[in-house]
Chain A
């Protein structure tokens, strides 16, 4: 093998040999290769070895898996599907709870804001004068509004913009998570596939 280095065309020739084994060598190159092989014992030897290895591989049979392979794959697939369902179920419960909490908070915030605005508008005082029942109710609402506004006043009045922005982003994120959960749920994941 050492004296093979003496052949200064070895790289090109072995490339041609490889192509010849795949029947991809052009006629001209094939003739040149044959001509070179006739004169170069080193390349002749390499060509014989490459052919030998090629024959060995061509004759090697394809091996199959042990019996029951498809069943084992199906079992593993079912286990994986169950695992994913549990995971997605957990995410669904979590995001669902967060969504409900978000909706409840938003409703409370709207009620508080409405109460505060109403009490400031003066309509509150007029109603108080007109009927005692309504007056009592309105007073009650006003008290609730005032009490709650002490708690949320700074957030809603001072940071109203950022709070609304963050709430919006939060709701969009929750909707996004819901869509993702639904699309990734086993059985739904391939519905949009086109064949």
Chain B
């Protein structure tokens, strides 16, 4: 017998192919409609079902069939409206009637290429395995011969230097009698003393105004009230002129990238700037999408962003993968670093940022020979981004641990490990262990580390994770209001609360760093390259990083 409805639905997807499946409890649901209203991707919608009920009353069976309409919450099987697992529905549900559940058997990637357009998203590499950084532990504990320090009472100085440190034999120092004097006519490169955990480059277009403002307030408070010199990088896209012309600009690193977005405003603000920025970062690459340029999708190019960046609204802002006016790192080093230095009278450190790569050492060696290069920032494969192709994020890039170690040991060979600071980024705090990851990278040779996604998660409750949860930063639909330019969404985020969390996060990390450094007996200088303190229970990792294998 023919069924009442057709069965040949081969070109439709079943919910089993989707990464998140909505679990909805009919008995708890009050049909208030909040979940369907808040869903950023319209993955759920109110629907009507016909319910057939058979009842029987009396002493003998007298089945009676009734049909009635019921209101349900239905998950879409349209791939363009897939549930992203953000859980905003659960957040707003007053009766705990709904939540998304991860589906390990999903075939999402097989289908998310409709119209020949590959899957694009925000976030970072969808790899929930334990990172190398999280495998490292601190095994050189001071005992009898050099008693461990008291992390709570001892005085610690957790600071690092950003800038080109001249080697001692190049310092303009003279001996006059019993004391040293400095020749004031000799140029000494600018060096900043900063906190070794920085907020990495996230632009004021990738982030919502409230998120950016919260971060900016947080680091200003840390500097001016808590005495922690935490700095933050602007990302590509400029800065609000009001900050450019304020004294707070000294807490910011201005990034120039291949699209030069925002630099018209910055150049015009130069004559009115009352302080120098902390540094200038020249972006050549990004760990999350190596070899790919920056991208701010049209959804996010609204009024404020178009004004700061000097572009029309609602257009994709794609920065090229490389600086179009340069054809080599040599030329970039020779011209770009020098010209950026000149713009601020050689008072501001200028350094490049590259993505983690096997060729990082070639870049490094070039910089080591350039007296104006102030540092090298390397962004590993676990770095985050606001928008990229999934394939770039998941399959391209180099892990940061061995990349930073190779570069540091290269500098050691040349005796220049103190001259050119290395800044490590990409996956710091991936599993929530910010201080431990930072300390491990420092002991592998980094002078400082950058965080991005970690601060979004801890300070603003970003839902994103390595199970591809949420990750719609590129679409401007961020349900937390972190990476959107839509006022309806970002007004959900209170900048004051973000700032408070930023302060809490850094204060807590500072305590944890002390809890790591104190048992190692270190308190005066950052233990950069103190690789004897590290151990790992994986022989291959130990050999590769030249640290102890422990078991």
Binding partners A and B = no
